[in-house]
Structure 1
Protein backbone atom coordinates (compact mmCIF):
# COMPACT_ATOMS: atom_id res chain seq x y z
CA UNK A 1 0.00 0.00 0.00
CA UNK A 2 1.63 3.21 -1.14
CA UNK A 3 1.81 6.20 1.17
CA UNK A 4 0.23 9.48 0.19
CA UNK A 5 1.71 12.94 0.67
CA UNK A 6 1.35 16.40 -0.72
CA UNK A 7 4.03 17.99 -2.84
CA UNK A 8 6.95 19.32 -0.80
CA UNK A 9 6.97 23.08 -0.45
CA UNK A 10 9.57 25.58 0.70
CA UNK A 11 9.07 27.06 4.19
CA UNK A 12 6.43 29.77 4.26
CA UNK A 13 7.77 33.28 3.87
CA UNK A 14 6.05 34.26 7.12
CA UNK A 15 8.40 31.89 8.98
CA UNK A 16 11.65 33.03 7.40
CA UNK A 17 12.59 35.23 10.36
CA UNK A 18 12.42 32.12 12.58
CA UNK A 19 14.65 30.13 10.21
CA UNK A 20 17.22 32.95 10.06
CA UNK A 21 17.18 33.14 13.86
CA UNK A 22 17.73 29.38 14.25
CA UNK A 23 20.66 29.53 11.86
CA UNK A 24 22.16 32.33 13.95
CA UNK A 25 22.12 30.42 17.26
CA UNK A 26 23.86 27.28 16.01
CA UNK A 27 27.00 28.32 17.87
CA UNK A 28 25.18 28.15 21.21
CA UNK A 29 26.19 25.48 23.70
CA UNK A 30 22.88 25.04 25.56
CA UNK A 31 22.48 23.27 28.89
CA UNK A 32 19.04 22.72 30.44
CA UNK A 33 17.79 22.96 34.01
CA UNK A 34 14.32 22.92 35.50
CA UNK A 35 12.49 23.22 38.81
CA UNK A 36 8.98 23.47 40.20
CA UNK A 37 7.63 26.74 41.60
CA UNK A 38 4.86 27.07 44.15
CA UNK A 39 2.79 29.90 42.65
CA UNK A 40 0.46 30.41 45.64
CA UNK A 41 1.84 33.86 46.42
CA UNK A 42 1.63 34.98 42.82
CA UNK A 43 -1.91 33.65 42.61
CA UNK A 44 -2.86 35.52 45.78
CA UNK A 45 -1.32 38.74 44.51
CA UNK A 46 -3.11 38.41 41.18
CA UNK A 47 -6.44 37.87 42.91
CA UNK A 48 -5.91 40.93 45.09
CA UNK A 49 -4.92 43.10 42.14
CA UNK A 50 -7.87 41.85 40.10
CA UNK A 51 -10.24 43.05 42.82
CA UNK A 52 -8.77 46.52 42.34
CA UNK A 53 -9.18 46.39 38.58
CA UNK A 54 -5.62 45.45 37.63
CA UNK A 55 -4.87 42.24 35.73
CA UNK A 56 -1.37 40.83 35.54
CA UNK A 57 -0.34 37.79 33.54
CA UNK A 58 1.95 35.08 34.90
CA UNK A 59 4.51 36.03 32.25
CA UNK A 60 4.61 39.55 33.70
CA UNK A 61 5.51 38.23 37.16
CA UNK A 62 8.30 36.12 35.68
CA UNK A 63 9.69 39.02 33.64
CA UNK A 64 9.57 41.27 36.71
CA UNK A 65 11.25 38.75 39.00
CA UNK A 66 13.87 37.47 36.55
CA UNK A 67 14.97 40.98 35.60
CA UNK A 68 15.74 41.79 39.22
CA UNK A 69 17.61 38.53 39.68
CA UNK A 70 19.70 39.05 36.55
CA UNK A 71 20.50 42.61 37.60
CA UNK A 72 22.46 41.01 40.46
CA UNK A 73 24.10 38.45 38.12
CA UNK A 74 25.90 40.53 35.49
CA UNK A 75 27.85 37.49 34.26
CA UNK A 76 24.55 35.86 33.27
CA UNK A 77 23.15 39.10 31.82
CA UNK A 78 25.80 38.93 29.13
CA UNK A 79 26.56 37.63 25.64
CA UNK A 80 29.35 36.04 23.66
CA UNK A 81 30.59 38.03 20.68
CA UNK A 82 33.42 37.84 18.21
CA UNK A 83 34.09 34.97 15.84
CA UNK A 84 37.90 34.79 15.82
CA UNK A 85 38.56 36.29 19.27
CA UNK A 86 35.38 35.50 21.22
CA UNK A 87 34.73 37.58 24.32
CA UNK A 88 31.96 37.90 26.85
CA UNK A 89 30.33 41.31 27.18
CA UNK A 90 28.10 42.23 30.11
CA UNK A 91 25.07 44.42 29.49
CA UNK A 92 24.33 47.51 31.57
CA UNK A 93 20.54 47.00 31.49
CA UNK A 94 18.23 43.97 31.62
CA UNK A 95 16.04 43.68 28.53
CA UNK A 96 13.50 40.86 28.42
CA UNK A 97 12.58 39.14 25.17
CA UNK A 98 9.04 37.78 25.14
CA UNK A 99 7.84 35.30 22.52
CA UNK A 100 4.38 35.78 21.05
CA UNK A 101 1.94 33.46 19.33
CA UNK A 102 0.90 35.70 16.43
CA UNK A 103 -0.60 35.73 12.95
CA UNK A 104 1.26 37.34 10.06
CA UNK A 105 -0.33 37.48 6.60
CA UNK A 106 -2.85 34.87 7.71
CA UNK A 107 -0.24 32.38 8.97
CA UNK A 108 0.36 31.46 12.60
CA UNK A 109 3.98 32.18 13.55
CA UNK A 110 6.10 33.01 16.56
CA UNK A 111 7.24 36.60 16.98
CA UNK A 112 9.29 38.19 19.72
CA UNK A 113 9.22 41.58 21.40
CA UNK A 114 11.92 43.14 23.58
CA UNK A 115 10.91 44.98 26.75
CA UNK A 116 13.76 47.32 27.79
CA UNK A 117 15.22 48.09 31.22
CA UNK A 118 13.00 45.69 33.14
CA UNK A 119 15.20 45.87 36.23
CA UNK A 120 13.61 49.29 36.87
CA UNK A 121 10.06 48.54 35.64
CA UNK A 122 7.13 47.74 37.90
CA UNK A 123 4.41 45.20 37.25
CA UNK A 124 2.05 47.78 35.77
CA UNK A 125 4.60 49.04 33.25
CA UNK A 126 5.61 45.51 32.24
CA UNK A 127 1.97 44.47 31.80
CA UNK A 128 1.30 47.56 29.68
CA UNK A 129 4.08 46.51 27.31
CA UNK A 130 2.95 42.88 27.28
CA UNK A 131 -0.61 43.95 26.44
CA UNK A 132 0.64 46.27 23.71
CA UNK A 133 2.28 43.41 21.83
CA UNK A 134 -0.33 40.76 22.58
CA UNK A 135 -3.27 42.95 21.56
CA UNK A 136 -1.63 44.56 18.53
CA UNK A 137 -1.91 43.50 14.90
CA UNK A 138 1.55 42.38 13.66
CA UNK A 139 0.65 43.16 10.05
CA UNK A 140 0.23 46.81 11.05
CA UNK A 141 2.54 47.39 14.03
CA UNK A 142 5.66 49.47 13.28
CA UNK A 143 7.64 47.33 15.73
CA UNK A 144 7.38 44.39 13.29
CA UNK A 145 8.11 46.36 10.12
CA UNK A 146 11.58 44.82 9.93
CA UNK A 147 10.17 41.29 10.14
CA UNK A 148 7.70 42.05 7.35
CA UNK A 149 10.55 43.39 5.22
CA UNK A 150 12.57 40.21 5.77
CA UNK A 151 9.67 38.17 4.42
CA UNK A 152 9.73 40.11 1.15
CA UNK A 153 13.45 39.88 0.46
CA UNK A 154 15.13 37.11 -1.54
CA UNK A 155 16.32 34.53 0.93
CA UNK A 156 20.03 35.11 0.40
CA UNK A 157 19.51 38.81 1.02
CA UNK A 158 17.09 38.28 3.93
CA UNK A 159 19.59 36.00 5.66
CA UNK A 160 22.34 38.58 5.26
CA UNK A 161 20.08 41.41 6.42
CA UNK A 162 19.09 39.45 9.53
CA UNK A 163 22.74 38.81 10.45
CA UNK A 164 23.58 42.45 9.89
CA UNK A 165 20.66 43.58 12.06
CA UNK A 166 21.18 41.36 15.10
CA UNK A 167 24.90 40.59 14.77
CA UNK A 168 26.50 43.70 16.30
CA UNK A 169 26.65 43.53 20.09
CA UNK A 170 25.37 47.09 20.38
CA UNK A 171 22.15 46.09 18.62
CA UNK A 172 21.69 42.65 20.11
CA UNK A 173 20.33 43.77 23.49
CA UNK A 174 17.82 46.02 21.76
CA UNK A 175 16.65 43.48 19.18
CA UNK A 176 17.17 40.12 20.93
CA UNK A 177 17.09 41.14 24.58
CA UNK A 178 19.50 40.09 27.34
CA UNK A 179 17.28 37.24 28.57
CA UNK A 180 14.23 35.48 27.16
CA UNK A 181 10.91 34.28 28.52
CA UNK A 182 8.64 31.92 26.61
CA UNK A 183 5.42 30.29 27.79
CA UNK A 184 3.25 27.38 26.72
CA UNK A 185 1.29 27.48 29.94
CA UNK A 186 -1.96 28.22 28.12
CA UNK A 187 -1.88 24.62 26.88
CA UNK A 188 -1.63 21.30 28.80
CA UNK A 189 2.18 21.50 28.72
CA UNK A 190 3.94 20.84 32.02
CA UNK A 191 7.40 21.86 30.91
CA UNK A 192 9.64 22.49 27.94
CA UNK A 193 13.09 23.85 27.14
CA UNK A 194 13.91 26.49 24.58
CA UNK A 195 16.94 28.44 23.36
CA UNK A 196 15.93 32.06 22.92
CA UNK A 197 19.14 33.52 21.52
CA UNK A 198 20.16 34.94 24.92
CA UNK A 199 22.45 33.47 27.56
CA UNK A 200 19.46 32.77 29.83
CA UNK A 201 16.07 31.56 28.55
CA UNK A 202 13.18 30.78 30.90
CA UNK A 203 10.39 28.43 29.81
CA UNK A 204 7.01 28.43 31.56
CA UNK A 205 4.70 25.44 31.71
CA UNK A 206 1.13 25.40 32.94
CA UNK A 207 0.11 26.01 36.53
CA UNK A 208 -1.80 23.10 37.99
CA UNK A 209 -2.74 21.97 41.48
CA UNK A 210 -0.30 19.34 42.75
CA UNK A 211 0.47 17.71 46.10
CA UNK A 212 3.36 19.36 47.94
CA UNK A 213 4.93 18.80 51.34
CA UNK A 214 5.09 21.76 53.73
CA UNK A 215 6.60 21.22 57.16
CA UNK A 216 5.99 17.49 56.87
CA UNK A 217 2.34 17.85 55.84
CA UNK A 218 1.04 16.97 52.37
CA UNK A 219 -1.17 19.70 50.95
CA UNK A 220 -2.26 20.95 47.52
CA UNK A 221 -0.66 23.97 45.86
CA UNK A 222 -0.61 25.61 42.42
CA UNK A 223 2.69 24.49 40.90
CA UNK A 224 4.43 25.65 37.72
CA UNK A 225 7.33 23.91 36.01
CA UNK A 226 10.02 26.49 35.26
CA UNK A 227 12.90 25.62 32.94
CA UNK A 228 16.12 27.49 32.34
CA UNK A 229 18.49 27.01 29.43
CA UNK A 230 21.87 28.70 29.45
CA UNK A 231 24.72 29.17 27.03
CA UNK A 232 27.64 27.22 28.51
CA UNK A 233 30.09 29.37 26.56
CA UNK A 234 29.11 32.35 28.76
CA UNK A 235 28.42 30.93 32.24
CA UNK A 236 28.69 27.65 34.09
CA UNK A 237 26.05 25.48 35.68
CA UNK A 238 26.52 26.73 39.25
CA UNK A 239 25.68 30.32 38.37
CA UNK A 240 22.78 29.24 36.14
CA UNK A 241 21.44 27.16 39.04
CA UNK A 242 21.73 30.20 41.32
CA UNK A 243 19.71 32.28 38.84
CA UNK A 244 17.01 29.61 38.63
CA UNK A 245 16.90 29.21 42.41
CA UNK A 246 16.58 32.97 42.96
CA UNK A 247 13.82 33.34 40.37
CA UNK A 248 12.00 30.46 42.08
CA UNK A 249 12.44 32.08 45.50
CA UNK A 250 11.28 35.45 44.19
CA UNK A 251 8.09 34.01 42.72
CA UNK A 252 7.37 31.87 45.78
CA UNK A 253 7.81 34.87 48.07
CA UNK A 254 6.07 37.45 45.91
CA UNK A 255 3.95 39.95 47.82
CA UNK A 256 3.61 43.47 49.21
CA UNK A 257 6.32 44.99 51.39
CA UNK A 258 5.50 46.89 54.62
CA UNK A 259 5.60 50.22 52.78
CA UNK A 260 2.96 48.99 50.32
CA UNK A 261 5.24 48.49 47.34
CA UNK A 262 5.51 45.22 45.46
CA UNK A 263 8.43 42.96 46.26
CA UNK A 264 9.41 39.59 44.86
CA UNK A 265 10.89 38.24 48.08
CA UNK A 266 8.39 38.98 50.83
CA UNK A 267 7.40 36.42 53.46
CA UNK A 268 4.57 34.02 52.77
CA UNK A 269 1.06 34.58 54.09
CA UNK A 270 -1.31 31.80 55.10
CA UNK A 271 -4.05 33.30 52.93
CA UNK A 272 -1.96 32.77 49.82
CA UNK A 273 -1.94 29.02 50.37
CA UNK A 274 -5.74 28.80 50.39
CA UNK A 275 -6.42 30.46 47.02
CA UNK A 276 -7.26 28.26 44.05
CA UNK A 277 -8.61 29.02 40.59
CA UNK A 278 -7.83 29.09 36.91
CA UNK A 279 -4.69 30.81 35.70
CA UNK A 280 -4.49 33.32 32.89
CA UNK A 281 -1.45 33.92 30.81
Structure 2
Protein backbone atom coordinates (compact mmCIF):
# COMPACT_ATOMS: atom_id res chain seq x y z
CA UNK A 1 0.00 0.00 0.00
CA UNK A 2 1.11 3.57 -0.65
CA UNK A 3 0.50 6.59 1.57
CA UNK A 4 -0.23 9.86 -0.27
CA UNK A 5 1.75 12.98 0.71
CA UNK A 6 -0.05 15.56 2.84
CA UNK A 7 1.10 18.50 0.71
CA UNK A 8 1.36 19.04 -3.07
CA UNK A 9 4.73 17.92 -4.47
CA UNK A 10 6.99 19.26 -7.20
CA UNK A 11 7.48 17.20 -10.39
CA UNK A 12 10.94 16.03 -9.26
CA UNK A 13 9.55 14.77 -5.95
CA UNK A 14 6.80 12.80 -7.74
CA UNK A 15 9.42 11.40 -10.10
CA UNK A 16 11.51 10.10 -7.19
CA UNK A 17 8.46 8.51 -5.53
CA UNK A 18 7.51 6.84 -8.81
CA UNK A 19 11.01 5.46 -9.36
CA UNK A 20 11.06 3.98 -5.86
CA UNK A 21 7.62 2.38 -6.28
CA UNK A 22 7.67 -1.39 -6.92
CA UNK A 23 5.42 -1.15 -10.04
CA UNK A 24 6.14 2.29 -11.59
CA UNK A 25 3.77 1.68 -14.52
CA UNK A 26 0.73 1.74 -12.18
CA UNK A 27 2.09 4.29 -9.68
CA UNK A 28 -0.30 7.13 -10.60
CA UNK A 29 -3.44 4.97 -10.45
CA UNK A 30 -2.44 3.40 -7.13
CA UNK A 31 -1.59 6.84 -5.71
CA UNK A 32 -4.93 8.37 -6.79
CA UNK A 33 -6.84 5.39 -5.34
CA UNK A 34 -4.98 5.96 -2.09
CA UNK A 35 -5.85 9.68 -2.18
CA UNK A 36 -9.54 8.82 -2.58
CA UNK A 37 -9.34 6.40 0.35
CA UNK A 38 -7.45 8.90 2.54
CA UNK A 39 -9.58 11.87 1.39
CA UNK A 40 -6.46 13.80 0.35
CA UNK A 41 -6.76 17.47 -0.58
CA UNK A 42 -7.43 17.93 -4.31
CA UNK A 43 -4.33 20.16 -4.59
CA UNK A 44 -2.17 17.10 -3.86
CA UNK A 45 -3.87 15.23 -6.72
CA UNK A 46 -3.52 18.28 -8.97
CA UNK A 47 0.23 18.33 -8.39
CA UNK A 48 0.41 14.64 -9.38
CA UNK A 49 -1.57 15.28 -12.60
CA UNK A 50 0.68 18.27 -13.39
CA UNK A 51 3.69 15.95 -13.11
CA UNK A 52 1.99 13.35 -15.37
CA UNK A 53 1.12 15.99 -17.99
CA UNK A 54 4.72 17.25 -18.02
CA UNK A 55 6.33 13.82 -18.25
CA UNK A 56 3.82 12.11 -20.59
CA UNK A 57 2.41 15.12 -22.42
CA UNK A 58 -1.10 13.91 -21.61
CA UNK A 59 -3.35 12.70 -18.78
CA UNK A 60 -5.11 9.38 -19.46
CA UNK A 61 -8.85 8.75 -19.13
CA UNK A 62 -8.51 6.49 -16.08
CA UNK A 63 -6.49 9.08 -14.16
CA UNK A 64 -9.01 11.81 -14.99
CA UNK A 65 -11.84 9.57 -13.71
CA UNK A 66 -10.03 8.93 -10.43
CA UNK A 67 -9.29 12.63 -10.01
CA UNK A 68 -12.96 13.37 -10.75
CA UNK A 69 -14.01 10.85 -8.07
CA UNK A 70 -11.82 12.71 -5.54
CA UNK A 71 -13.35 16.07 -6.53
CA UNK A 72 -16.89 14.66 -6.22
CA UNK A 73 -16.04 13.13 -2.84
CA UNK A 74 -15.00 16.57 -1.57
CA UNK A 75 -17.69 18.53 -3.45
CA UNK A 76 -15.17 20.67 -5.35
CA UNK A 77 -17.59 22.11 -7.91
CA UNK A 78 -15.09 24.26 -9.81
CA UNK A 79 -12.73 21.30 -10.31
CA UNK A 80 -15.62 19.03 -11.35
CA UNK A 81 -16.57 21.55 -14.06
CA UNK A 82 -12.92 21.79 -15.18
CA UNK A 83 -12.63 18.01 -15.55
CA UNK A 84 -15.92 17.91 -17.47
CA UNK A 85 -14.65 20.59 -19.87
CA UNK A 86 -11.42 18.64 -20.46
CA UNK A 87 -13.32 15.39 -21.04
CA UNK A 88 -15.80 17.02 -23.44
CA UNK A 89 -12.91 18.29 -25.55
CA UNK A 90 -10.98 15.03 -25.55
CA UNK A 91 -13.61 12.29 -25.68
CA UNK A 92 -16.73 12.01 -27.84
CA UNK A 93 -18.62 10.00 -25.22
CA UNK A 94 -17.83 8.92 -21.69
CA UNK A 95 -18.54 5.71 -19.80
CA UNK A 96 -21.65 5.48 -17.65
CA UNK A 97 -19.49 5.62 -14.48
CA UNK A 98 -18.07 9.01 -15.55
CA UNK A 99 -21.55 10.43 -16.16
CA UNK A 100 -22.64 9.07 -12.76
CA UNK A 101 -19.80 10.93 -11.06
CA UNK A 102 -20.37 14.18 -12.95
CA UNK A 103 -24.13 14.18 -12.33
CA UNK A 104 -23.71 13.27 -8.65
CA UNK A 105 -21.06 15.96 -8.16
CA UNK A 106 -23.03 18.69 -9.93
CA UNK A 107 -26.34 17.75 -8.29
CA UNK A 108 -24.82 18.36 -4.85
CA UNK A 109 -23.68 21.87 -5.81
CA UNK A 110 -25.02 25.29 -6.72
CA UNK A 111 -24.65 24.22 -10.36
CA UNK A 112 -27.29 21.51 -9.92
CA UNK A 113 -29.15 22.53 -13.08
CA UNK A 114 -26.07 21.46 -15.04
CA UNK A 115 -26.70 17.94 -13.73
CA UNK A 116 -30.20 18.01 -15.26
CA UNK A 117 -28.82 19.28 -18.58
CA UNK A 118 -26.13 16.60 -18.55
CA UNK A 119 -28.75 13.91 -17.92
CA UNK A 120 -30.61 15.06 -21.05
CA UNK A 121 -27.33 14.95 -23.01
CA UNK A 122 -26.62 11.42 -21.78
CA UNK A 123 -30.06 10.29 -22.98
CA UNK A 124 -28.99 11.10 -26.55
CA UNK A 125 -26.14 8.58 -26.47
CA UNK A 126 -27.16 5.91 -23.94
CA UNK A 127 -29.70 4.98 -21.27
CA UNK A 128 -28.67 6.89 -18.13
CA UNK A 129 -28.03 4.73 -15.09
CA UNK A 130 -30.37 4.49 -12.14
CA UNK A 131 -27.78 6.38 -10.07
CA UNK A 132 -27.82 9.34 -12.48
CA UNK A 133 -31.61 9.47 -12.57
CA UNK A 134 -31.87 9.29 -8.80
CA UNK A 135 -29.28 12.05 -8.26
CA UNK A 136 -31.39 14.32 -10.51
CA UNK A 137 -34.70 13.29 -8.92
CA UNK A 138 -33.36 14.07 -5.44
CA UNK A 139 -31.93 17.45 -6.40
CA UNK A 140 -35.19 18.42 -8.16
CA UNK A 141 -37.10 17.44 -5.01
CA UNK A 142 -34.66 19.27 -2.76
CA UNK A 143 -35.37 22.46 -4.74
CA UNK A 144 -39.12 21.78 -4.66
CA UNK A 145 -39.36 21.12 -8.40
CA UNK A 146 -41.63 18.16 -7.74
CA UNK A 147 -43.19 18.06 -11.22
CA UNK A 148 -39.71 17.61 -12.69
CA UNK A 149 -38.87 14.96 -10.08
CA UNK A 150 -42.03 13.02 -11.01
CA UNK A 151 -41.29 13.38 -14.72
CA UNK A 152 -37.79 11.93 -14.24
CA UNK A 153 -39.21 9.15 -12.06
CA UNK A 154 -41.66 8.07 -14.77
CA UNK A 155 -38.94 8.33 -17.41
CA UNK A 156 -36.78 6.06 -15.28
CA UNK A 157 -39.57 3.49 -14.87
CA UNK A 158 -40.25 3.57 -18.62
CA UNK A 159 -36.62 2.51 -19.14
CA UNK A 160 -37.13 -0.50 -16.82
CA UNK A 161 -34.85 0.96 -14.14
CA UNK A 162 -35.95 -0.18 -10.68
CA UNK A 163 -35.96 2.71 -8.17
CA UNK A 164 -34.20 2.30 -4.83
CA UNK A 165 -36.15 2.77 -1.59
CA UNK A 166 -33.87 5.75 -0.97
CA UNK A 167 -35.29 7.76 -3.90
CA UNK A 168 -38.88 6.69 -3.16
CA UNK A 169 -38.41 7.93 0.41
CA UNK A 170 -37.13 11.27 -0.95
CA UNK A 171 -40.52 11.89 -2.60
CA UNK A 172 -42.25 11.68 0.80
CA UNK A 173 -39.55 13.74 2.53
CA UNK A 174 -39.78 16.58 0.00
CA UNK A 175 -43.59 16.58 -0.28
CA UNK A 176 -44.60 17.23 3.31
CA UNK A 177 -47.48 19.66 3.68
CA UNK A 178 -48.28 19.63 -0.04
CA UNK A 179 -51.71 20.73 -1.25
CA UNK A 180 -50.97 19.66 -4.82
CA UNK A 181 -53.57 17.02 -5.75
CA UNK A 182 -51.44 15.66 -8.61
CA UNK A 183 -48.43 15.23 -6.35
CA UNK A 184 -50.57 13.42 -3.77
CA UNK A 185 -51.74 11.11 -6.55
CA UNK A 186 -48.09 10.40 -7.44
CA UNK A 187 -47.27 9.51 -3.84
CA UNK A 188 -50.25 7.17 -3.58
CA UNK A 189 -48.98 5.65 -6.82
CA UNK A 190 -45.64 4.95 -5.10
CA UNK A 191 -47.48 3.30 -2.19
CA UNK A 192 -49.39 1.11 -4.66
CA UNK A 193 -46.10 0.27 -6.39
CA UNK A 194 -44.71 -0.93 -3.03
CA UNK A 195 -47.86 -2.90 -2.30
CA UNK A 196 -48.14 -4.53 -5.73
CA UNK A 197 -44.49 -5.59 -5.65
CA UNK A 198 -44.62 -6.64 -1.99
CA UNK A 199 -41.78 -4.27 -1.13
CA UNK A 200 -41.64 -3.45 2.58
CA UNK A 201 -40.21 -0.04 3.59
CA UNK A 202 -37.41 0.01 6.14
CA UNK A 203 -37.89 1.93 9.38
CA UNK A 204 -36.71 5.39 8.20
CA UNK A 205 -38.79 5.14 5.01
CA UNK A 206 -41.80 4.06 7.07
CA UNK A 207 -41.25 7.12 9.30
CA UNK A 208 -41.19 9.38 6.20
CA UNK A 209 -44.50 7.92 4.98
CA UNK A 210 -46.02 8.44 8.45
CA UNK A 211 -44.83 12.08 8.64
CA UNK A 212 -46.11 12.79 5.13
CA UNK A 213 -49.61 11.52 5.94
CA UNK A 214 -49.65 13.53 9.17
CA UNK A 215 -48.59 16.68 7.27
CA UNK A 216 -51.43 16.64 4.70
CA UNK A 217 -53.32 19.94 5.19
CA UNK A 218 -56.95 19.58 6.26
CA UNK A 219 -56.65 15.88 7.06
CA UNK A 220 -56.08 14.27 10.46
CA UNK A 221 -53.92 11.24 9.86
CA UNK A 222 -52.10 9.69 12.81
CA UNK A 223 -49.51 6.98 12.35
CA UNK A 224 -48.62 4.39 15.00
CA UNK A 225 -45.91 1.78 15.32
CA UNK A 226 -47.48 -1.56 16.13
CA UNK A 227 -46.99 -5.31 15.97
CA UNK A 228 -49.23 -7.36 13.73
CA UNK A 229 -50.87 -10.43 15.23
CA UNK A 230 -50.90 -13.76 13.34
CA UNK A 231 -54.61 -13.14 12.71
CA UNK A 232 -53.63 -10.24 10.40
CA UNK A 233 -55.75 -7.80 12.42
CA UNK A 234 -54.24 -4.34 13.04
CA UNK A 235 -54.26 -3.63 16.84
CA UNK A 236 -54.65 0.14 16.18
CA UNK A 237 -57.37 0.51 13.53
CA UNK A 238 -58.77 -3.05 13.96
CA UNK A 239 -58.85 -3.64 10.20
CA UNK A 240 -57.91 -6.88 8.51
CA UNK A 241 -54.62 -6.46 6.65
CA UNK A 242 -54.22 -7.73 3.11
CA UNK A 243 -52.92 -11.23 2.65
CA UNK A 244 -49.51 -11.56 1.01
CA UNK A 245 -51.15 -13.91 -1.55
CA UNK A 246 -48.22 -16.32 -1.63
CA UNK A 247 -48.87 -19.60 -3.36
CA UNK A 248 -47.95 -22.75 -1.44
CA UNK A 249 -44.88 -23.13 -3.66
CA UNK A 250 -43.78 -19.50 -3.02
CA UNK A 251 -44.34 -19.95 0.73
CA UNK A 252 -42.17 -23.08 0.88
CA UNK A 253 -39.46 -21.38 -1.21
CA UNK A 254 -39.48 -18.35 1.12
CA UNK A 255 -39.41 -20.58 4.20
CA UNK A 256 -36.45 -22.50 2.79
CA UNK A 257 -34.57 -19.28 1.93
CA UNK A 258 -35.08 -17.86 5.43
CA UNK A 259 -33.98 -21.14 7.02
CA UNK A 260 -30.79 -21.42 4.94
CA UNK A 261 -29.84 -17.73 4.58
CA UNK A 262 -30.89 -16.30 7.93
CA UNK A 263 -31.26 -19.07 10.51
CA UNK A 264 -28.34 -21.23 9.33
CA UNK A 265 -26.54 -18.44 7.46
CA UNK A 266 -23.23 -17.14 8.76
CA UNK A 267 -24.08 -13.46 8.29
CA UNK A 268 -27.15 -13.51 10.52
CA UNK A 269 -26.89 -9.93 11.81
CA UNK A 270 -26.64 -8.32 8.38
CA UNK A 271 -29.48 -10.41 6.95
CA UNK A 272 -31.87 -9.67 9.82
CA UNK A 273 -31.13 -5.98 10.34
CA UNK A 274 -33.85 -3.46 9.30
CA UNK A 275 -31.65 -2.32 6.41
- Scaled by the length of structure 2, the TM-score of the pair is 0.23
Q: Looking at secondary structure, tell me which structure has more strand per residue.
A: 1
Q: Looking at secondary structure, tell me which structure has more helix per residue.
A: 2
User: Between Structure 1 and Structure 2, whose CA radius of gyration is higher?
Assistant: 2
